[in-house]
Amino acid sequence: MNKTKHKIAVYLHPETMEQLEQVYREDGCRSRTEFIEKAVRFYLAYLSASDSQSLLPNTFLSNMKSIVAESDNRVSRLLFKLAVEMAMMVNLLASISDVDDITLARLRGECIKEVKKLNGALSMEEAVKWQRG
């Protein structure tokens, strides 16, 4: 790389200058000029990047993808187990109940409203209170 540098005037707001003074040494730069040049190069790379992968190391992206995939897998397994338990409960309850279609439809509508109102955080205590009126 050519050792010649061009001198330019840079005007910064006082708050930006304060941040620059605090951070440039922490970044391992020997001068404000070195820090500003690194920042400009980073921003130029950001602007010219066709995708975000050029700014993030591939190992980081790979690790993040595997963490998300594992989390997704875990949530899917738990939702499946919950659905099985719910199916068992609903079938047991249906086998001992004699509920007509109109009451069942009304109950579904009321439960939808209740779950929306509670943002999905329904508890047995709340359901008992609701059933008792």
Q: Are residues 126 and 70 in the same domain?
A: yes
Q: Are residues 69 and 98 in the same domain?
A: yes
- Give the residue numbers spanning the domain of 45: 14-54
In-domain check, residue 4: no
Say what the pLDDT of residue 54 is.
58
Say what the pLDDT of residue 35 is.
92
- Number of domains the chain contains: 2
Q: Are residues 119 and 63 in the same domain?
A: yes
Q: Are residues 127 and 63 in the same domain?
A: yes
Phi, psi values for residue 121, rounded to 5°: -95, 65
Q: Label each residue of the chain as H, E or C.
A: CCCCCCCCCCCCCHHHHHHHHHHCCCCCCCCHHHHHHHHHHHHHHHHHCCCHHHCCCHHHHHHHHHHHHHHHHHHHHHHHHHHHHHHHHHHHHHHHCCCCHHHHHHHHHHHHHHHHHCCCCCCHHHHHHHHHC
In-domain check, residue 3: no
- From the first residue on, what is the mean pLDDT of each consecutive set of 10 residues in the chain (133 residues)? 81 92 90 91 78 66 89 94 90 88 90 83 80 80
